[in-house]
Chains A and B, each alone.
Chain A
Amino acid sequence: MGSERERAEDGTEERGNPGLEYDNNEDRVLVERFIRARDASADPATAEREMESAFRMIVVRHQERVHRLVHGYTKDPLEAEDVTQEVFVKLFRKLDSFQWDSAFYTWLYRIAVNTAMDWMGKRKRRPVQLSEDITLHERIDQTLELVEEPDAPLLQSERAEITRRILDELPEQYRSVLYLREYEDLSYLEIAAALGCSLGTVESRLFRARAQFRRILEARFPELLQ
């Protein structure tokens, strides 16, 4: 077996990674166009138009992925849009610090995860809303109350809702790694870049996250695993 990095790099090449559908070079061209316009001392109106054009093109290229990731944390359309905007604002403020030694979108994911985590932290510091102050079991029970025939097999939408609620109860670092792997289909190497941790950490965290998710699911809904 090769080294960890060799294995991961090989894996990235072998597995038809969806991340590679994105052209990193195109991002680079747009970013450089933005920076050139921003730093130009020529006509300010032209510079502004150039900057806005590059900014919007980058946003359009990535907004869907960032929004989906952020929505996984916020669960609220308005909050998700607000946090997604914040992600892009931070991205453009930090553009000069990106060294292009990794994929642009993994860096963007990192900013998105950190921004979403910050949002979660702020939300926790807010006074607890009545609707938030209930346990996992109570929330799952609420979901089950919506099921018209409790003995009937769970519908796909009900299974999905239960799954999402259990996912929400996991520690944030477990949830992030599961999101990036299962929903964004990132490779271990990309997850490591997005979360700023090692490949070994990604692997063990992913395993523990899945194990914890399975334990909760088995305790309450073993039929979902059959």
Chain B
Amino acid sequence: MRSSDILPEMPADGPTPSDLLLQRYMDDELRPAERRELEVRLQTEPELAKQLATMRGLSGVLRDAREEPAPLGVGFAERAWSRFRTEEVVPVRSLHETLRLWTLVAAVLVVVLGAAFWLLESDGPADLTASPKKSEAHKLLEELDTRAESLKMESLDGGTQAPAKRRDARK
């Protein structure tokens, strides 16, 4: 009989309490009282006993495949120590390098941002030619300034000429 005939497919929602109980028994994870209780059941419930046998068979297949690698070469501990002492300084050096790099990046950022701020604040040609809209706005502003100036001059002139005009009108 194949093991699939004994052990049902694993339910989609995980192992059942019975599955876990058998697994704990097999893995020697039950308390003595629980073991004894299950052993009584195993004697009277053949299906449960078969399920356990299948689980043990599978565990046996896995354990038989345990591989013993070739032993580590002589002097492994010395090599590990040497590596430990060599690599110990690496993070410190990396930290210095990282700090130096970030200092450089910060300096570049300060220069770039400072230059950008200066350009935005100034009336330099770069600011006006950067965008046609800006250039038009600038022209409009200049025109408005000119007209405001002329209006101001007219109003000043008007202020001195108005009484004379009023006198002429009375005549």
Contact = CB atoms under 8 A, between A and B. Distances in A.
Interface string A28-56: 00000000000000000000000010011
Contacts of A211: 10, 15
A68 B29 contact: no
Contact of B31 (A2, A67, A81): A2
Given A72-B67, A203-B23, A14 B78 contact: no
Contacts of B84: 55, 88-89, 92
Interface stretch (B58-66, B98-106, B154-162): B58-66
Interface stretch (B68-76, B127-135, B141-149): B68-76
A222 B2 contact: yes
Contacts of A8: 29
A137 interface: no
Contacts of A208: 10, 14-15
Interface residues of A, number: 57
A112 interface: no
| Majority DSSP secondary structure for residues of B touching A | helix
Nearest to A17: B28
Given A10-B31, A14-B32, A225-B54, A84 B81 contact: no
A128 interface: no
Contacts of B54: 225
A133 interface: no
Interface of B: 2-4, 7, 9-10, 14-15, 19-20, 23-24, 27-32, 34, 54-55, 57-59, 61-73, 76-81, 83-84, 87-88
Interface of A: 1-2, 7-8, 10-11, 14-15, 52, 55-56, 59-60, 63-64, 67-68, 71-72, 77, 80-81, 84-85, 88-89, 92-93, 156, 159-161, 163-164, 167, 178, 181-183, 187-188, 203-204, 206-208, 210-211, 213-215, 217-218, 222, 224-226
20 contacts: A10-B31, A56-B78, A56-B81, A59-B76, A59-B80, A71-B69, A77-B69, A77-B70, A80-B69, A81-B76, A88-B84, A89-B83, A159-B61, A161-B65, A188-B29, A206-B27, A207-B23, A214-B58, A225-B58, A225-B61
